A and B are shown apart, each in its own frame.
Chain A
Amino acid sequence: MVIAEERVVAVIMVGGPTKGTRFRPLSFNVPKPLFPLAGQPMVHHPISSACQKIPNLAKIYLIGFYEEREFALYVSSISNELKLPVRYLKEDKPHGSAGGLYNFKDLIMEEDPVFYLYLSISYMLANYLVLVICSCSCSCSWGSSYFLLQSHIFLLNCDVCCSFPLPQMLDAHKKYGGMGTILVVKVSPESASEFGELVADPVTNELLHYTEKPETFVSDRINCGVYIFTPDIFTAIEGVSSQRKDRANLRRVSSFEAMQPDSRSLTANYVRLDQDILSPLAGKKQLYIYETVDFWEQIKTPGMSIKCSALYLSQFRHTAPHLLENGDGIKKACIIGDVYIHPSAKVHPSAKIGPGVSISANARIGAGARLINCIVLDDVEIKENAVVIHAIVGWKSSIGRWARVQGRGDYNAKLGVTILGESVAVEDEVVVINSTVLPHKTLNVGVQDEIIL
């Protein structure tokens, strides 16, 4: 009898404060992974996808450079809510996208004592056998039974917005039998060069070629930043490190080589997933792809958070329709399309909200206000007859009567949406267009295409 036990761990890379100044000014107030999209912190979406869709999920790790205290509250409350261990691990220094995973290998592969108890009891009950503890795939027999402990590790980037088809990836990964499976999506040929481009065998789905941000066109399938690996990934990363150490020890680097940017800045422990693992292992029957046909975006700029918030809202229509609002303008405000309103927010019935709007806790939306494609954060007050389109309204800000706060709706452009930082006051009848306003400013005259420091 073969008893196979599967154990899945999800690791989410959340980045850090000094990398990515692109998320300013919102990043002055909150780490990007905790910025709300569709009413939930950005990192919550991959976490809840993993938790809801993967039955054998043992734990979730968040790895990043932020201080522990920035995530302490969130991880403890989400662990309680999901009844699943979620931990934040701070990297002490940069190890690269793969090195970071390797750095915490022991924690990731660590078995849960309760899980052991469960295993030992179930096997003892089934076969009166003693459990052999192992930390990677292994089999042991005693009498007529086999049992197998398989570990799988999902690696996800926090600033990816997609449907997270994790169970489908897991099934495909098991079928392929390789070391890793990469989620890919098809994009327009023009935009492909911003990402890692992949070429795969159309029949076996084996990864044949991988190249990061190429200058010429290689493929329109790109790396989504969502992976699943077997524990062999750690061996692969270790291999890169030791190879680098050997090369450094064997000979002194020539002065020409020393000038090359690569060899100059990389220490042995700095291992990048794209250049050091995926590229070299392509075509060696170790890596495979799984293609998603659902939406996929990267949340690099504040403008993209409006777009991704709307994408998640439209996903709620299928997966969690109770989270979305309904209203016809009579007893409750008129709702168009997908809208999230926090239960503590107050919206006047004569206001018209949507599509693509998310309103956070304790916000107050006055009579006759019109909100389209925007994110309204906590404690905001939007007064009567104000209009907000393609904008993010920061915590505790206020928008005066008949004021108009508007963006072009160009989510990736620098001033393509209007962003109001924390505690910004826009006075009555003032117009703010395609501008970014830093925290604690009061606008009593209109501005357009400007950054207000």
Chain B
Amino acid sequence: MWQLKPKLNTEDIELMGHKINPTGLRLGITQEHRSHWYAPTKSYPTLLREDDMIRNFINDKYSAAGVSDVLISRKADQLEVELKTARPGVLVGRQGSGIDDLRNGIHKILKDPNRQVRINVVEVERADADAYLLAEYIAQQLEKRMAFRRAIRMATQRAQRAGVLGLKIQVSGRLNGAEIARTEWTREGRVPLHTLRADIDYATKIASTTYGVLGIKVWVFKGEVISKENRHTPTGVNPRRRANRRSNEE
């Protein structure tokens, strides 16, 4: 009996699955905006541009200090910049010289030396549980030509020691310089991307090697948030206690 095969539906072929950025999905809940301010429509783009220039400046200058996040908030012309870093010592330098440099740099960018700028340097509690820092670590290892599987394994071990509920790492491109690009990923624990109350730290980083560009994606699952007060069902190992906040006011 002849079976009539349906014609290949071209629309179905083009529609492949896609995942949205887990951070973007959770902005209203579980994630905070990286820029916190209000601006009327006319000045919004200008302020946005300022934010961008500040972020670029910080990332270029302090890449060695492991800056994982830059939070910018404004309150009536006062600008507050909060840097989250794993090595605040490197950032602050001796007697706070780093912070002064940063402030001068920002004033130069804004072309207004009279702007009020507050700078906060906050230490990240568990540096090995931070997606951006892990991604950066992997990227650096790859750029140093380490075998990618080893780099991933080392990052995984670090994260596990830091007590993380779930971790997923994906690396794509010419792995180990191969001629044909492919993408590999590993997962440990749970990474429930569909659960909105799941605190998932996601980060992307690019590693440029002599063979080309490798893309790195890291997902860190830190726990579900049940109520607003106690975020983070606490996980495993306690971090070493260190001086927590160093801030500098103008």
Question: Do A and B associate with each other?
Answer: no
Question: Which residues in A have some Cβ–Cβ distance to B below 8 Å?
Answer: none
